[in-house]
Amino acid sequence: MAALRERSLADVLHDIVANIQDIVRSELRLASVEIRQELAKAASAGKVAAAGGVLALFAFALLLLAAVYALALVMPPWLAALTVGIVLAIAGSILISAGSKRLKLIHLKPEKTVASIRETLHG
């Protein structure tokens, strides 16, 4: 049998710390690679969704134009366009109002976390 070399406690602890650091670095590199891969997938999906959104916007505009043309069969074209515009303005106003009301309900300050930290600090 080979003679075992006596190592000091400091050497053993140093090796343990170095090994833990290597493991943590490896895990961080792995996490970084995984995150980059997922972000690339998300970017690709975002591009497809954006293209779909642009097409949907064009489709909506054409549907509005069709509504104007349809109304122009029963009223003057300028009144048909005005009617569609007014209906859209009303719908837009309602959506803006509803959105702003919802935004007012959002509290960006993490109240529960702040209270928990204060409780921890003050005992």
**Domains identified in the chain, total number:** 1
| pTM, entire model | 0.58
Q: What is the pLDDT of residue 66?
A: 98
CB contact set of 75 (below 8 Å; sequence gap of 6+): 83
User: Rounded CA gap, 97 and 106, in Å?
Assistant: 15
Least confident stretch, 9-13, 60-64, 105-109: 105-109
CB contact set of 80 (below 8 Å; sequence gap of 6+): 67, 68, 69, 70, 71, 72
Residue 2 lies in a domain: no
Residue 4 lies in a domain: no
Residue 3 lies in a domain: no
Residue 44 lies in a domain: yes
User: Which two tokens mark 77?
Assistant: 């074209």
Q: What is the pLDDT of residue 4?
A: 60
Inter-axis angle of helices 77-104 and 9-72, nearest 10: 150
| Farthest CA pair distance, the chain | 106
Confidence bin at 123 (pLDDT 50/70/90): low
Beta carbons of 15 and 5 less than 8 angstroms apart: no
Task: Please give the residue range of the domain that contains residue 116.
Answer: 9-122
